[in-house]
Structure 1
Amino acid sequence: MWAEPDVNHLATLMRHVYENKNSDEVKAKVETAYANIKNNFNWDVSAKKTIEFLKSVRFKPKLGIVSTWNTKCGIAEYTKYLVSNLRNPEEVKIFANKVSSKDLITMDGDNVIRCWEPYFDDLSTLCNKILESDLDVIHVQFNFGFFELNSLADMVKKLKEKGIKLIITFHSVGNTEFMNKPVKLDSIKKRAKTCRQNLGAFIK
């Protein structure tokens, strides 16, 4: 989901709540919000909804993850914990960056496909490998320096056209510099909007 909050409107609402915190209006809204969270978003209710959803799924989605993997990297470690807590982790395809064998922590499993280079890759090989694997869902671990943004946007568009669902976890979102050039997520915002029906996004 690609969201664009109105910062000015949010600031106005927050100031209104602060300046009127003792008013009947604000107290009523706070009590209603508290009751909603307490009754509808507690662990028991959330777990029940999750179980019901999983029971309603008629097929077992084939999952792939694009990430650094099996190296001394925080995101690689994060992805390892995600995958290890799935029911059948060995069935998840891992599309990892190319590294020297001496940089591996352990030997790669048969489900690991090393097919992209950080940043300078046009991601065409990665995209083709994903399509060849006949997957339903791709989860991309994003960090500046992993992917050139336009190449990533091109891949997202191609996968969307093939009906593949995408989830992108943004491990960093602030404007930065790479190779002495400014890098901004805003540069692909319009292209990402066109893919929003098939794209989920999370910010860590």
Structure 2
Amino acid sequence: MLSFNKLTQPKSLLLIGAALIISAFLGWYGVTPTTNLVETDSLSSSPDYFITKVKVKEFDIDGRLIEELDADQTLHYTAKSKTLLESPNMERYSKSGHWSAKADKGVIDDGSNDILLTENARATKKYLQSEDIKLSADNIHYLDQNKSLTSYGNATLTSTQGETSAGKITTYINSEEVVMTGSVRGKYETIH
């Protein structure tokens, strides 16, 4: 049995003191909330990955090039299921011609082939059998399902016949059809 004299010896006091300090530290550490170096809010709004100098090419089953996408940078956000593009530049090829488009920014939703070009968006549609047309707008949305380009927000179509502005301008990749809605206005002069 331990006696009071043995407990008061310097070696025993040192061991008891160390045990009390360790117990106090573990008790304090156990109740202290876990902290991160970076706040959770800023982590949830940060991209889960980014890629710089992106160059993507898509080919059809016969090996023909059908689409190219270049961007200075892509930022993927899992929480938003989106990829943001910096300075995207794309080209799409078809049997009737091809179109190219670029903008300051772009967005691709996960699982989609649709691309929304924003901020200073411009597109040129080059036909094999007729004159080219140029679209410019705040936003140009490529919809893969119906192969169309829809321009809205200061939308303007420029061709050899003149310039037309509208609330929304939709052109289809595989045809020469153009649909304009919302305050359609035009200046029709020969532009050469």
Give the TM-score taking structure 2 as reference length: 0.23
Q: Greater strand share, 1 or 2?
A: 2
Q: Relative contact order: is structure 1 or structure 2 higher (C-alpha 8 Å, sep ≥ 6)?
A: 1
